[in-house]
Amino acid sequence: MSPAGSSPIGAPPHIHALLTKLHKLSIDQEAELQKSKSKNNDGSSRFVSSTAAEPTDFDALMRDKFIALDEDKCHFVYQLIRAKGATTIVEAGTSYGVSTIYLALAAGRNAKALGKAGATVIATEFEVEKAGAARAYWKECGESVEGVVDLRVGDILETLKEGVRDVDVLLLDIWAKLALPTLTLMQPKLRPGAVVLVDNTVAAAGGYKELLEYMKAPGSGFTNIVVPYSGGFEMSVYYPPL
């Protein structure tokens, strides 16, 4: 968590209050999950699960869980988007839309500051009820969030096939097995210099093995570092190989 009073987020008080409430809900749920923990496939992570085509007990357990990106990571992502002047963001895994609020605020501010027509955060969620709740939270935020998000409900490997281009930032905050297929689907749509962020890559290294091997392979076009937030937060920059 960032020290009190150090939030870089430019937003009115009601959005700050909502974010504080939602992060707390998420943290409380995770604490409960930890108590009853046992079902992850390889025991290493909250992010090891099925693909959408093969739902498991894990999916049932996670159906009503926030699993929101930690607040300090959200602040980092917000700052990175602002620094980059990014206006087209894809979020793989939206849940109740907590991280999405940060993405939308940052991208929207960039569009205004840079005199661009608008910004877009393409958000993706498989669970219909989560998607509905996320929409309600964004509405509560107002136009600076609601007006920026393009929510696609369904299996990400279908919903991102069309209508995505010139992506500045891709946030992979989805079950680990979907990370590599999502990345390869998005790769042709990434702008040169695009940033790819992946949560929990140290704590869930087993689940992310294939993704990390793919991004770290010589000639992949990706350069990678781990930002040392809890669980590890992978930050990669992509330039298509020449």
Ligand X SMILES: C[S@@+](CC[C@H](N)C(=O)[O-])C[C@H]1O[C@@H](n2cnc3c(N)ncnc32)[C@H](O)[C@@H]1O
Could you tell me the smallest distance in angstroms from the CB atom of residue 15 to ligand X? 15
Residues at the interface with ligand X (CB under 6 A): 52, 66-69, 93-96, 98-99, 124-127, 130, 155-156, 173-175, 178
Question: Within its chain, how far is the Cα of 122 from the centroid?
Answer: 10
Q: Which is nearer to ligand X, 126 or 138 (CB)?
A: 126
Residue of 14, 159, 148, 15 lying closest to 89 (CA atoms): 148
Dihedral Cα 86, 225, 70, 113, nearest 10 deg = -20
Could you tell me the smallest distance in angstroms from the CB atom of residue 173 to ligand X? 4
Name, in order, each residue with C-beta under 8 angstroms of 220's C-beta and a sequence gap of 6 or more.
214, 241
Q: Which is nearer to ligand X, 8 or 240 (CB)?
A: 8
Q: Which is nearer to ligand X, 21 or 112 (CB)?
A: 21
Secondary structure (H, E, C), 162-188:
CCCCCEEEEEECCCHHHHHHHHHHHHH
Could you tell me the smallest distance in angstroms from the CB atom of residue 126 to ligand X? 4
Helix axes 128-141, 13-35, angle to 10 degrees: 150
Q: Which is nearer to ligand X, 162 or 192 (CB)?
A: 162
Could you tell me the smallest distance in angstroms from the CB atom of residue 115 to ligand X? 29
Residue of 84, 148, 139, 145 lying closest to 120 (CA atoms): 148
Instruction: Give the Cα separation of 89 and 196 in Å (integer).
Output: 10
For the four alpha carbons of 39, 132, 118 and 141, in that order, the dihedral sign comes to: negative
Q: Which is nearer to ligand X, 79 or 220 (CB)?
A: 79
Question: Within its chain, how far is the Cα of 221 from the centroid?
Answer: 21
Could you tell me the smallest distance in angstroms from the CB atom of residue 159 to ligand X? 7
Could you tell me the smallest distance in angstroms from the CB atom of residue 59 to ligand X? 7
- Phi/psi region, residue 56 (left: phi>0; alpha: psi -120 to 50; beta: rest), is beta
Could you tell me the smallest distance in angstroms from the CB atom of residue 24 to ligand X? 13
Residue of 239, 242, 202 lying closest to 222 (CA atoms): 239
Q: Which is nearer to ligand X, 153 or 237 (CB)?
A: 153
